[in-house]
Copies of this chain bind each other. A is one copy, B any other.
Amino acid sequence: MTVGIKDVARLAGVSPATVSRVLAGRAVDSDMQERVLAAVKSTGYRPNLSARRLRSQHSNTIGLIVADIRNPFFTAVSRTIEDVAYARGMRVILCNTDEDPAKEEMYLRLMQEERVTGAILAPTRRGVEKVDAIPKDFPIVLIDRAGTSRQHDSVLLDNHAMAALLVRHLHEQGYRRIAGLFGAASTTGAERRAGYEQAMAQLGLDPEAVLVDHAPGAAEAAVARLLQATSRPEALIASNGVMLTRVLHAVRDMGLVIPGDVALAGFDNEPWMELVGDGLTVIEQPVAEIGRTAMTMLLDRLDHPDAAARRIVLDGRCLVRGSSTPIRRTSAAA
């Protein structure tokens, strides 16, 4: 019942090939073109993209695999990627791994079965080890996390440096006992932790890094444990925006005030972060640039399949706000 290219051709009195050519915008007799366009309109013909993809062997689709679209960082990056893609006539398939390597593997397989033109992937910590096993003829750009893999293109934040920057900022404000909460399931967490520990060591401070699960409630529990200890930290660092939100909740629930009882700083800027209290000090990531760069790299890769893999490392901005005002010590200094 559905109208196909043959029906259009018959109505217009031309061959299917001609209809295809008209639709592809290639040179045809203007009279025929007119008849074809009229026939398309009158039949309400809609090309079947599956058939088109099967025959033409390119999908014009890219896969986007992130941990969780509810994380505003990924939301923002995704949005940019989609806009660029659709502007180029490409579709995007979006998948959430929930930091689960099994899901990630399944979605990567799905992408191959969809014969996507390429994929943009934020791999899980365990997934990043397997990423080098992906066939070279499957173009991939890693975002946000790349681990040690140098085989694929990647666009990353300078996590190490940014975490260190945060530590030094807190140190300058007079904080000494600075604890850090880092995501356990992502390489991002690991890198930020390393930056944190190195900066702490350089300043002669004792690092206290906590690895936090992706599971709900984990961050809250970690905060409670930290702040109920005998020598409570003077400041907390949260390694991403979602965790920062949870830490904030947990601190409030304990009846503590920021920064009076404990200072707070973290990663990822969101519109509300300057509204809570006197604002939250954060490292803002260049989300739009990350998305745009990833798409550009992917398209470049398609043009030059054999070029060497590139790694682009971007810097964030440290937005200093009220949650890290200079410390006011109540008793003896450290």
Query: Is B46 within 8 A of A54, CB to CB?
Result: no
Is A70 located at the chain interface by the 8 A CB criterion? yes
Binary interface profile of A, 55-89, with partner B (CB < 8 Å = 1, else 0)?
Answer: 00001000000001110100110110011001000
Query: Is B59 within 8 A of A70, CB to CB?
Result: no
Is A96 located at the chain interface by the 8 A CB criterion? yes
Given contacts A79-B96, A276-B276, 5 further A-B contacts (CB under 8 A): A50-B59, A69-B82, A70-B76, A248-B272, A252-B275
Q: How far is the CA of A290 from the CA of B110 in the complex (A)?
A: 27
15 CB < 8 A contacts A-B: A46-B109, A49-B114, A50-B50, A50-B59, A50-B115, A69-B78, A70-B79, A82-B96, A91-B93, A93-B93, A94-B94, A248-B275, A272-B272, A272-B273, A276-B276
Is A15 located at the chain interface by the 8 A CB criterion? no
- Give me the interface of A with B, judged by CB distance under 8 Å: 46-51, 53-54, 59, 68-70, 72, 75-76, 78-79, 82-83, 86, 91-96, 109-110, 112-115, 245, 248-249, 252, 270-276
Q: How far is the CA of A114 from the CA of B92 in the complex (A)?
A: 13
Q: In the assembled complex, how far is the CB of residue A322 from the closest CB belonging to chain B, in whole angstroms?
A: 12
Q: In the assembled complex, how far is the CB of residue A96 from the closest CB belonging to chain B, in whole angstroms?
A: 7
Q: In the assembled complex, how far is the CB of residue A87 from the closest CB belonging to chain B, in whole angstroms?
A: 11
What secondary structure prevails in chain A residues at the interface with B? helix
Residues of chain B with a CB closer than 8 A to A112's CB: 46
Q: Which interface residue of A49, A112, A273, A276 has the most chain B CB atoms within 10 A? A: A49
Query: Is A79 within 8 A of B75, CB to CB?
Result: no
Within the complex, which residue of B48, B86, B94, B249 is in contact with A271, where a contact is CB–CB below 8 Å? B249
Number of this chain's copies in the assembly equals 2
Q: How far is the CA of A113 from the CA of B52 in the complex (A)?
A: 10
Q: In the assembled complex, how far is the CB of residue A269 from the closest CB belonging to chain B, in whole angstroms?
A: 13
Q: In the assembled complex, how far is the CB of residue A88 from the closest CB belonging to chain B, in whole angstroms?
A: 14
Query: Is A46 within 8 A of B92, CB to CB?
Result: no
Within the complex, which residue of B48, B50, B272 is in contact with A276, where a contact is CB–CB below 8 Å? B272
Residues of chain B with a CB closer than 8 A to A94's CB: 82, 92, 94
Q: Which interface residue of A47, A54, A245 has the most chain B CB atoms within 10 A? A: A54
Q: In the assembled complex, how far is the CB of residue A97 from the closest CB belonging to chain B, in whole angstroms?
A: 11
Query: Is A75 within 8 A of B70, CB to CB?
Result: yes
Closest 6 CB pairs of A and B: A50-B53, A50-B54, A272-B272, A276-B276, A275-B276, A50-B50
Residues of chain B with a CB closer than 8 A to A115's CB: 48-50
Residues of chain B with a CB closer than 8 A to A249's CB: 271, 274-275
Query: Is A113 within 8 A of B69, CB to CB?
Result: no
Within the complex, which residue of B75, B113, B270, B274 is in contact with A48, where a contact is CB–CB below 8 Å? B113
Minimum CB distance partner of A275 in chain B: B276
Q: How far is the CA of A271 from the CA of B70 in the complex (A)?
A: 12
Q: How far is the CA of A103 from the CA of B305 in the complex (A)?
A: 33
Q: In the assembled complex, how far is the CB of residue A28 from the closest CB belonging to chain B, in whole angstroms?
A: 22
Q: How far is the CA of A275 from the CA of B332 in the complex (A)?
A: 31
Q: How far is the CA of A213 from the CA of B276 in the complex (A)?
A: 26
Q: Which interface residue of A69, A76, A82 has the most chain B CB atoms within 10 A? A: A69
Q: How far is the CA of A303 from the CA of B69 in the complex (A)?
A: 30
